[in-house]
Every structure is written in structure tokens, then in C-alpha cells.
């Protein structure tokens, strides 16, 4: 994903200490679960709504919406589409699915879209489950987070379920106070190191800040 937030630091004249503060990008997220005809979880469509400041920087960087109407032409949408889908090897898409504590394998992104609404970039993409799991009363957990906490995610869009009428998806939030205390302690220790580098050495605390959806279905 393009990290234009560092441009913001330069524009605002922030010093090195301020530039180390995480996160840099804020995304409101939503998930749409899709079940197949056999009642197995087949795929999830992921919605990312970028914060207004990041959206402004990116649109300016790409030369889109030069007249500041807050709307994109179809050609501009096509140019924007996929800007955040160029994933490096090993990137998990900041999406993690667990069943009985074991990770489920997800495909890379497909069927992506992009638009701008109210000055915020909205993108969607689909991740397929490589081994389609059955879902019963034991929750299947889907978490949204960046391990490095460069990007902060919140699940603010009500989850949607397609293909089954007997399933429930509930959003659970983390203990953000405890997560912040853990981050501060880890940073205090790491900042004492003379060779600390924000991007190479920042503690992997993103999971502690993760919202998650717990999906259950009838037996």
C-alpha cells in the first residue's frame, strides 16, 4: 500500500519524534460474508474507507479530482481502482480468519473497486477461503489489523451475511487502554536503542488493537 502519510509529515514540518507516532493511516472497515450453496463460508468482501486526510493526499498525488468536486469520473475511478491491491509477497491483506484458534487460508484479492464519497476513498475487494469452512455455534473469528500498526483499522460498518439466514455476526472491540499501555512500554524499551528504525523495528502490536467479527451459525 502507498504510504503517503510520510508526505504529510514533511508538509506539516513535523520532527523526527512526531513522525515516529503510529498509526499514520486510519481506515473504517466492513466485512460481507458470502456462503456457498452448501452452507460453507466461501468468501468475504472487504470494505476499506480511508480517512479524509490520507484520501486528500493520495488523490493529489495521483492527479485525481483536480476540480475538488468530491466526485470521480468513471475514468478517474478506473485509474484509482487497485491502487491498494499491489501487495508484496507475504502481505496478508491485514485480514486474519481463525477457526478453533487455527488460521484459515485466504486467497489474494480480486474483484476490487474504488470510489470517493464525502472526500474519502472507499475501496472493496474479495478474499476467497481456500478451504471453505463450515460454521456452527463455535465462532469463526475474522480480525482486521495491521501487525505493524502503521494503519489503524476499526470495524464500523455493520457486517453483512449472504447465502444463509441462520448466521449471526457480532463485532467485538479490544481493550484499547491495555493495548496502548503495552505499546507505550514496548516503545519506551525500543526507543532506548540507538539504531531504532520506525519501519524496521516498530513493535508488532497491531493485533492488540484489533476489532474482530465472531461469526456463528445454527448447527
Per residue, what are the HEC states of 11-71? HHCCCHHHHCCCCCEEEEEEEEEEECCCCCEEEEEEEEEECHHHHHHHHHHHCCCCCCCCC
Which domains can be identified in the chain, with CATH numbers? 5-217 (2.70.170)
Q: Is the pLDDT of residue 217 over 70?
A: yes
Rounded Cα gap, residues 102 and 167, in angstroms: 21
Q: Is 48 exposed, middle or buried (0-12, 13-18, 19+ CB in 10 A)?
A: buried
User: Is the CA virtual torsion 90, 121, 204, 171 positive or negative?
Assistant: negative
For position 205, what pLDDT does the model report?
A: 82
User: How sure is the predictor about 192, in pLDDT bands with cuts at 50, 70 and 90?
Assistant: low
For position 14, what pLDDT does the model report?
A: 34
For position 196, what pLDDT does the model report?
A: 60
Q: What is the mean pLDDT of the segment spanning 81-90?
A: 94
How much of the chain exceeds pLDDT 90, in percent? 68
For position 186, what pLDDT does the model report?
A: 77
Question: Residues 21, 51, 147, 62: what is their CA dihedral angle, to the nearest 10 degrees?
Answer: -100
Angle at 206 between CA 203 and CA 210, to 5 degrees: 160
For position 184, what pLDDT does the model report?
A: 84
Top pLDDT among 1 and 175 is at 175
Q: Is the pLDDT of residue 138 over 70?
A: yes
For position 13, what pLDDT does the model report?
A: 36
Q: Is the pLDDT of residue 169 over 80?
A: yes
User: How sure is the predictor about 133, in pLDDT bands with cuts at 50, 70 and 90?
Assistant: very high
Q: What is the mean pLDDT of the segment spanning 131-135?
A: 95
Q: Is 88 exposed, middle or buried (0-12, 13-18, 19+ CB in 10 A)?
A: exposed
For position 8, what pLDDT does the model report?
A: 39
Top pLDDT among 184 and 128 is at 128
Q: Is the pLDDT of residue 1 over 80?
A: no
Q: What is the largest CA-CA distance in the chain?
A: 57
- pLDDT tens digit string along 28-61? 999 999 999 999 999 999 999 999 999 999 999 9
Amino acid at each position: 500500500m502507498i504510504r503517503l502519510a510520510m508526505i504529510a509529515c514533511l508538509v506539516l514540518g513535523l520532527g523526527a519524534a512526531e513522525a515516529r507516532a503510529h498509526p499514520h493511516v486510519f481506515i473504517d472497515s466492513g466485512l460481507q460474508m458470502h456462503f456457498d450453496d452448501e452452507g460453507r463460508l466461501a468468501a468475504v468482501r472487504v470494505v476499506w474507507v480511508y480517512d479524509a486526510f490520507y484520501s486528500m493526499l493520495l488523490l493529489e498525488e495521483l492527479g485525481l479530482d483536480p476540480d475538488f468536486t468530491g466526485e470521480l469520473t468513471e475514468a478517474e475511478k478506473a485509474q484509482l481502482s487497485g491502487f491498494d491491491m499491489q501487495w508484496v509477497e507475504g502481505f496478508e491483506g491485514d485480514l486474519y480468519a481463525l477457526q478453533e484458534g487455527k488460521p484459515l487460508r485466504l486467497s489474494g484479492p480480486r474483484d476490487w473497486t474504488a470510489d470517493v464519497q464525502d472526500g474519502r476513498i472507499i475501496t472493496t475487494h474479495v478474499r476467497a477461503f481456500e478451504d471453505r469452512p463450515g460454521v456452527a455455534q463455535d465462532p469463526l473469528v475474522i480480525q482486521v489489523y495491521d501487525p505493524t500498526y502503521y494503519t489503524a483499522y476499526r470495524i464500523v460498518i455493520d457486517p453483512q451475511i449472504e447465502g444463509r439466514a441462520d448466521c449471526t455476526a457480532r463485532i467485538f472491540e479490544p481493550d484499547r487502554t491495555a493495548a496502548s499501555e503495552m505499546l507505550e512500554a514496548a516503545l519506551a524499551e525500543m526507543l532506548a536503542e540507538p539504531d531504532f528504525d520506525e519501519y524496521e523495528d516498530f513493535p508488532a502490536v497491531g493485533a492488540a488493537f484489533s476489532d474482530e467479527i465472531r461469526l456463528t451459525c445454527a448447527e
